[in-house]
Amino acid sequence: MAGNGDETAVSARGLCKSFGRLRALNDLSVDIPRGVTYCLLGPNGSGKTTFIRAIAGLLRLDGGDLRVLGEPVARVKEIYSRIGYMTQHRALYPDLTLQENMEFFAGLYGIERSESERRITRLLEMVNLQEHRSRLAGDLSGGMYQRLSLACTLIHEPELLLLDEPTVGIDPMLRQTFWEYFDLLTRQGKTVLITTHLMDEAEKCKIVGYMRSGKMAAVGSPEEIKRLAGLRPCLELWLKEPEKDAALLRAEGYEIQICKGVVQLRLESHEQIKRVLAKVNPLDMRLKEPTLEEAFLRLSEAS
């Protein structure tokens, strides 16, 4: 795990941060590669937001080494124009119009007027707010407000996006749009770091870091995490004589459960399916992959 500045967007070694007696970050070490969507997942109080704020340079760490886009975090102020940060508060001015809000943030980053006009149009289209351009932000609905906040965060085209619960209060259709946009950003080599408590969102990320008690409990692709949790796919079989066939399969050493007449069988590997079908002849069957949620429940119980 070499923390190479060129390939790693964020490299953390032994981060510690306490708030009074609460240890928010407890010897946290992780590498976040560039050009991926990276999801920080974990129960409330596991240190996700603290970690994001540490990366943003908003916290004084008690210890550890943190590098952001190759720079030590102490100098992160110098690369703020390359970082986009969306807080859980939506950080907009309700008494300004959408256009004015975006102009303001563009101005902070010194973006020229014609260029900022172009970007505002493009981003408002992306978040589907173009026709509300001259409305006051305070008059927007919760989801719209959220979208505007994301648009403002993207105005300076940052290399590293820190998004703290970005899709809260957004309808599923639009959430899909967000994810497509995140994919587009990562294809351009940008890094998107997201905290979420939604498992289906985590599942869309390239890498998931599961945090517990201020440290990384598990890191990997969603599939790797599931394997790590010891979860296996489940084969559901609809059989003519479930009790009899179940006994047959149990005799072969399979782990079997019967639920409402459906025989559920835990697979060690997908090759086992053939062997099972050689023994029984189901009316219908379905392969159920474990969800990330199950994996984290398992991991939480384990630790």
Partner 1 sequence: MRLLELSRVSVVALRVVRQLKRDRRTIGLITFAPILLMILFGYALSGEMSGVSLGLVDYGGHAILKSHLEGTKDFNILYLGSESDAEKLVSEGRLNGAVILRPGEVRVLLDATSLQISNAIQAAIEAGASRERASLQEGPENIVVMRFIFGYDLEMMDTVGPAVLGLVVFFFTFVIAAISFLRERTLGTLEKFMVSPLSRVEMVSGYVLGFSLFTLLQSTTTLLVVTLGFGVPMRGNPLTALAIVLLLGAGALVLGSFFSNFARSEFQVVQFIPLIIVPQIVLCGVWWPLQSIPEFIRPISYILPLTYASDALRAVMLKGASITDILYPDLLALSVFFLFFFIAATLMLRREVA
Whether the CB-CB separation of 79 and 10 falls below 8 Å is answered with no
Closest-CA residue to 11 (of 77, 86, 64, 75): 64
CB 153 within 8 A of CB 161: yes
Residue 135 and residue 143 in contact, taking contact as beta carbons nearer than 8 Å: no
CB of 53 to partner 1, least distance (A): 7
The CA angle 88-90-92, to the nearest 5 degrees, is 155
Site for partner 1 in 74-113 (CB under 8 A): 77-78, 80-81, 83, 85, 87-96, 100, 104-105, 107-110
Number of chain residues interacting with partner 1 (CB under 8 A):
32
Q: Pick out residues in 25-44 that bind partner 1 (CB under 8 A).
A: none
Q: Which is nearer to partner 1, 136 or 198 (CB)?
A: 136
| Contact present, 102 and 156 (Cβ < 8 Å) | no
Identify which of residues 46 and 282 has a Cβ nearer to partner 1 in the complex.
46
181 is a site residue for partner 1 (CB under 8 A)? no
| Residue 247 binds partner 1 (CB under 8 A) | no
Q: Which of 53, 135, 266, 298 binds partner 1 (CB under 8 A)?
A: 53
C-alpha span between 48 and 58 (Å, rounded): 14
| Spatial CB neighbours of 84, under 8 Å, sequence gap ≥ 6 | 153, 154, 156, 158, 160, 161, 162
Closest CB 88 distance from partner 1, rounded Å: 7
Residue 227 lies near partner 1 (rule: CB under 8 A): no
Per rule CB under 8 A, is residue 290 in the interface with partner 1?
A: no
Site for partner 1, rule CB under 8 A: 19, 53, 56-60, 77-78, 80-81, 83, 85, 87-96, 100, 104-105, 107-110, 136, 162
